[in-house]
Structure formats: C-alpha cells, structure tokens
C-alpha cells in the first residue's frame, strides 16, 4: 500500500533512522565501530530529530491510532518500545554504550520502525477517513517542523567507507 501523504514526513524520518541502523550494523560487522564517535552521533540525532519524532508520535499519532480497537495493542507496544529506545539514547549521551549495545540499539530501532510502517501506518490508512488523515497530517507537520530544518552529517569516524577489495 502506498503511504498516505499525511504520514510521509514520519516515513522520511524513518528512512533516515533506518540508514543510521544500516551504518551502525556495517561498522560493527567490519570491526570498525568507533564507539565514542557513534555515541556522539546518536546523541546528536536523538536531540535533533528522533526525540522530536517520538514526541510527535506520542502527542498526535498514537492517540489518533488508539481510537481504533484494532490498533490499540500495537500502539501500546510502540509506546513501550519508545521507553526502551529513549534509555539507549540516554546511555549513548552519557557515553555508556559498548559495541554490543550499539548493535542492540540498531536492531531495536530498526524493528520498531518496521512495526510502525507495516502495522501502525497500514492500519491507520485502512481505518481512518481521508479527513481524519488530513487533520493528523496538519498536526504532524507542526510537530515535526523543528526537526525538518536540520541536516545531520555523519562524522568521519561514522561515515560508511567503501569496501576494500
């Protein structure tokens, strides 16, 4: 199913976060994960985009979805996952993650995003009217405005490097 235009801003941010997860995973697999640099980047990304994203979901998206009995279970799971993910990002900000934790965070964040896209968004698009989605889109646009104006560039230590032959 195509993503409704009112959910596209969240989906774009999901793409950014999934790219982060891929970069973390590849760095770990290559044995080139500078844990300190990754924690600094995770802190920056959470403070500038992911924290705003979570807040918008919790304030606007999840309550709209919870109006439908079919989505209440997944909303509860996603709220609980936000708590776990916030803890990982807080630990990154405090520089208390190790390489294993980085991998766990990337896996949890990736799984969370996929659940939102495949279960929550798909369900909302089936259950909500076009007017309800449009009203939600206006709220999300306002809530995400701050994060939309930021550009995060990976540091040299966290940038993907070409595979050597």
Chunk the chain into consecutive blocks of 10 residues (it has 165) and report each block's average pLDDT, rounded to whole numbers. 93 95 96 93 94 96 98 98 98 97 98 98 98 97 72 53 53
Maximum pairwise Cα distance, the chain: 54
Position 70 scores a pLDDT of: 98
Position 32 scores a pLDDT of: 82
Position 156 scores a pLDDT of: 60
CA angle 13, 32, 20 (to 5 degrees): 5
Strand spans (E) along 22-164: none
Domains of the chain plus CATH, in order, are 8-147 (1.20.120.520)
Position 157 scores a pLDDT of: 54
| Cα distance between residue 60 and residue 9, in whole Å | 13
Position 14 scores a pLDDT of: 96
């Amino acid at each position: 199913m195509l993503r409704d235009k009112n959910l596209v801003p969240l989906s774009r941010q999901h793409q950014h976060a999934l790219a982060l997860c891929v970069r973390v995973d590849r760095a770990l697999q290559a044995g080139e994960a500078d844990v300190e640099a990754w924690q600094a980047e995770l802190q920056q990304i959470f403070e500038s985009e992911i924290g705003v994203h979570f807040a918008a979901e919790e304030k606007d998206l999840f309550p709209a979805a919870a109006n439908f009995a079919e989505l209440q279970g997944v909303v509860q799971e996603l709220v609980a996952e936000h708590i776990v993910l916030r803890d990982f990002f807080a630990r990154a900000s405090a520089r208390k993650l190790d390489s294993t934790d980085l991998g766990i965070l990337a896996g949890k964040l990736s799984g969370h995003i996929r659940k939102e896209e495949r279960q929550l968004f798909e369900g909302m698009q089936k259950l909500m009217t076009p007017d309800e989605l449009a009203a939600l889109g206006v709220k999300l646009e306002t809530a995400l405005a701050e994060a939309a104006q930021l550009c995060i560039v990976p540091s040299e230590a966290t940038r993907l490097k070409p595979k050597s032959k």
